[in-house]
Amino acid sequence: MTASIAALLLSGTPGRAALPVCGLVTRAEAAAAAGGTVPEGRAQVMEIPAPDRRVHTEICMYGGKVMVSRFTLGTGATAFFHGYQQDKARKYDDMQSVPGLGDEAFSAGGQLTVRKGGIALVLDVNQNLGGGAPERAAEKRLALLALGRL
């Protein structure tokens, strides 16, 4: 019963259970974004400590080429997201706002981060290449797919 309550809370849609994190982006979609084959997605769940909360985090790795993460932001989601964004801006000099995704989105450090309600997604394509224009475009395509499945 607890798992089903958690699934409903993560789904963002009343009455609909959350899709497993590796279902937000399929293996075929990850491979297309990476420009080659990728292994089957491997999911990991963890609680990440933050100053005022623990953030429920689900990560799907398609080898070292594509990562999709879903974070449950909890109360004060917008303020928490902005704090995360400010932290990224201090660490990386490539911060860019990305319009047209979720409620708000930004790119920094080779990753695309999107907030929709109380959920944040982080997408990273071809992590070892440093997040150039082709990777950012692929991350945006994957984000649109994942947002449609939340």
- Alpha-carbon distance of 24 to 29, in angstroms, equals 10
Give the chain's mean pLDDT.
Answer: 88
13-39, pLDDT tens digit by residue? 444 457 899 999 999 999 999 999 999
What pLDDT, on the 0 to 100 scale, is given for residue 129? 63
Cβ of 7: how many Cβ atoms within 10 Å?
14
Cβ of 134: how many Cβ atoms within 10 Å?
13
Q: Token pair for residue 149?
A: 């499945």
What pLDDT, on the 0 to 100 scale, is given for residue 19? 87
What pLDDT, on the 0 to 100 scale, is given for residue 132? 78
Tokens 């109360």 identify what position? 75
CATH (one of 3.30.450, 2.60.40, 3.40.1000, 3.10.450) for 2-149:
3.40.1000
- Domain boundaries, given as residue ranges, for the chain: 2-149
HEC string of the chain equals: CHHHHHHHHHHCCCCCCCCCHHHHCCHHHHHHHHCCCCCCCEEEEEEEEECCEEEEEEEEEECCCEEEEEEECCCCHHHHHHHHHHHHHHHCCCCEECCCCCCEEEEECCEEEEEECCEEEEEEECHHHCCCHHHHHHHHHHHHHHHHHC
Identify the bridge partners of residue 116 per DSSP, sorted by sequence position: 119
What pLDDT, on the 0 to 100 scale, is given for residue 128? 63
Instruction: State mean pLDDT over 37-51.
Output: 95
More confident residue, 17 or 67: 67
What pLDDT, on the 0 to 100 scale, is given for residue 131? 64
Instruction: State mean pLDDT over 58-69.
Output: 97
What pLDDT, on the 0 to 100 scale, is given for residue 106? 97
What pLDDT, on the 0 to 100 scale, is given for residue 126? 87
